[in-house]
Amino acid sequence: MDQRFTDGFWRSSDGLKLYYRDYPGGEDGRPPIICMHGLTRNSRDFADLAERLSPEWRVIVPEMRGRGQSDYAEDAATYTPLNYVEDVEALLAELGIDRFVAIGTSLGGLMTMLLASRAPDRLAGAVLNDVGPEIDEAGLEKIRSYVGQGRSFPTWMHAARALQETHEDAHPTYQLDDWLLAAKRVMVLGQNGRISFDYDMALGDAFRETPDSGGAPPANLWLAFESLGNTPLLLVRGALSNLLSEETVRQMKVRNPGMEVVLVPDTGHAPMLDEPEAVAAIDALLAKVRTRVTV
């Protein structure tokens, strides 16, 4: 099957060559969709979503520094949400994009809020996937337990079983085929014949040594969240999430009564956005964006 996207590259301000997928579409004036992945993830996480939405929408999926086909940073201290936002700003400038819909999973949701805080009018719509201005310590501790371990595996079956051991609590209904697909999203076959995670292991050091910047919300993220007050906004939460609490969702709803909230059952951190509840909610949000664009 031919790939539905073109490969693209751009440069960060500190000279890194960064990668993105560009799914064509949206020729009727709709703003493009920018999908931003989680801490240890890459563009493959959004393959199904992007193919479903294209060609009605142009979908751009950047890989943050240190992930996938993007360069690894020489200085692991640059693995912070603020630096990722600067990198995405450079991509938007290069592509001449001044308005867009943001879909952000976990870290990508933090980035969405930070982008909104800089220029809220640029966001035609936003989806925050299982993340808010506050993150539960239980979720952070879980991430610290596995990020940057540098494990490798002899077969895809071994890789899938390892993922299952670590994340079965978040996806209790997954079968073996699901874990194999998950492994192929987050791992790659190396030149040594071993299968390993597709990100810089230095991310783990950055996360553990500076948890307030390596992946947890920066200070005053509630103010950044409030920047989305006039933006069509959807919050997706996994019913079993250990990262986004029900109390944080309640506070978000108080501060932004117009925010739509959808709960994905039997799922923790984070939904893949192909679940029926998430699909319907995203389509409804995009319909709202489309109506605003054409009015």
pLDDT on residue 217: 54
Confidence of residue 292 (pLDDT cuts 50, 70, 90): confident
8-state DSSP, 252: H
Q: How far apart are CA 40 and CA 45, in angstroms?
A: 11
Tokens of residue 6, six digits: 């073109």
Helix (H) or strand (E) holding 234: strand 233-238
| Closest of 93, 105, 59, 89 to residue 244, by C-alpha | 105
CB 128 within 8 A of CB 152: no
Q: How far apart are CA 133 and CA 104, in angstroms?
A: 13
Q: Please compute, for residue 106, the number of CA atoms within 13 A of its CA located in the half-sphere on the CB side.
A: 23
Angular region, 78: left φ>0, alpha ψ -120 to 50, beta rest: alpha
| pLDDT tens figures, 174-184 | 999 999 999 99
Domain-wise residue ranges, the chain: 6-137+210-294
Buried b (16+ CB within 10 A) or exposed e, 223-244: ebbbbbeebbbbbbbbeebbbb
pLDDT on residue 104: 98
% of the chain exceeding 70 in pLDDT = 96
What's the whole-number mean pLDDT along residues 266-280?
98
pLDDT on residue 214: 47
pLDDT on residue 132: 96
Phi and psi torsions of 22, nearest 5°: -125, 105
pLDDT on residue 213: 44
SS3 243: coil
| pLDDT tens figures, 243-252 | 999 999 999 9
187-189 sheet: strands from edge to edge: 152-153, 195-197, 187-189
Query: pLDDT at residue 255 above 60?
Result: yes
Residue with the bigger pLDDT between 191 and 107: it is 107
Query: pLDDT at residue 42 above 70?
Result: yes
pLDDT on residue 293: 73
| pLDDT tens figures, 201-234 | 999 988 877 644 445 456 689 999 999 999 999 9
Query: pLDDT at residue 108 above 80?
Result: yes
Domain 6-137+210-294 grouped into CATH 3.40.605.10: no
Provide the whole-model pTM. Answer: 0.96
Query: pLDDT at residue 295 above 80?
Result: no
